[in-house]
């Protein structure tokens, strides 16, 4: 009987101590990258080619990170939209955005048809493993032989 009591006491003690030594504070979530998209020059303008009817422009796309977490962009897409339809898409490989830094490049899109919205879409992952999906749109009005972004 003493052996049974001793065995039960040891099992109870073993079970009671399994919770000891562990952290009692909850895991704090890691921060996420916060990315912003800008273009230069602002406002954007696309010129119309009289012969082809296409619209073209040259501008810089600047991606900035503001939360101290680096990100790797797998793709950068420019979507040109008219009404509810995407009429043209350009997709390029991304790059690295350093923590509190910038990444960017020059774009020279030639869009074969009229559009009313240009959307830049970023996709990738930050250095803490969170997905990155950021987008920003510019809306355009038709002016004499060009499209101008509305302010």
pLDDT, average across residues 68-87 = 97
Q: How far is CA 134 from the centre of its chain?
A: 3
pLDDT in tens, 36-53: 999 999 999 999 998 999
Q: How many domains does the chain divide into?
A: 1
The residue among 6 and 96 whose pLDDT is bigger is 96
pLDDT, average across residues 111-130 = 96
Q: Report residue 49: phi and psi, to 5°.
A: -85, 120
Nearest to 35 by CA among 95, 108, 91: 95
Predicted pLDDT of residue 44: 92
The region that residue 89 occupies, defined by phi over 0 for left and psi between -120 and 50 for alpha, beta otherwise, is beta
The answer as to whether 134 is a domain residue is yes
pLDDT in tens, 86-98: 999 999 999 999 9
Q: What percent of the chain has pLDDT over 70?
A: 82
The answer as to whether 20 is a domain residue is no
Yes or no: say if 113 and 88 are a contact pair by the CB < 8 Å rule: yes
The answer as to whether 99 is a domain residue is yes
The answer as to whether 37 is a domain residue is yes
| Position 121 confidence tier, pLDDT thresholds 50, 70, 90 | very high
Yes or no: say if 120 and 78 are a contact pair by the CB < 8 Å rule: yes
For residue 84 the two structure tokens come to 């509810």
The answer as to whether 94 is a domain residue is yes
Domain range for 42 is 30-149
CATH number at residue 102: 2.60.40.1470
The residue among 2 and 111 whose pLDDT is bigger is 111
Residue reference for tokens 């490049």: 105
The answer as to whether 5 is a domain residue is no
| Position 54 confidence tier, pLDDT thresholds 50, 70, 90 | very high
The region that residue 11 occupies, defined by phi over 0 for left and psi between -120 and 50 for alpha, beta otherwise, is alpha
Q: For the chain, where are the alpha helices, taking DSSP H only?
A: 2-17
pLDDT in tens, 25-35: 778 899 999 99
Q: How many CA atoms lie within 13 A of 80 on its CB side?
A: 20
Predicted pLDDT of residue 22: 56
The H or E element containing residue 73 is strand 71-82
């Amino acid at each position: 009987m003493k052996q049974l009591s001793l065995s039960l006491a040891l099992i109870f003690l073993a079970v009671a101590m399994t919770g000891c030594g562990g952290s009692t504070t909850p895991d704090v979530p890691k921060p996420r990258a916060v990315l912003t998209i800008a273009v230069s020059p602002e406002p954007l303008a696309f010129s119309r080619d009289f012969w082809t009817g296409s619209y073209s422009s040259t501008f810089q796309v600047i991606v900035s990170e503001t939360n101290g977490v680096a990100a790797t962009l797998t793709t950068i897409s420019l979507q040109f939209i008219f009404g509810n339809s995407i009429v043209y898409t350009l997709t390029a490989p991304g790059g690295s955005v350093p923590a509190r830094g910038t990444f960017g490049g020059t774009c020279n899109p030639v869009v074969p048809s009229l559009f009313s919205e240009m959307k830049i879409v970023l996709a990738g992952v930050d250095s803490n493993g969170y997905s990155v999906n950021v987008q920003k749109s510019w809306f355009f009005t038709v002016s004499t032989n060009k499209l101008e972004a509305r302010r």
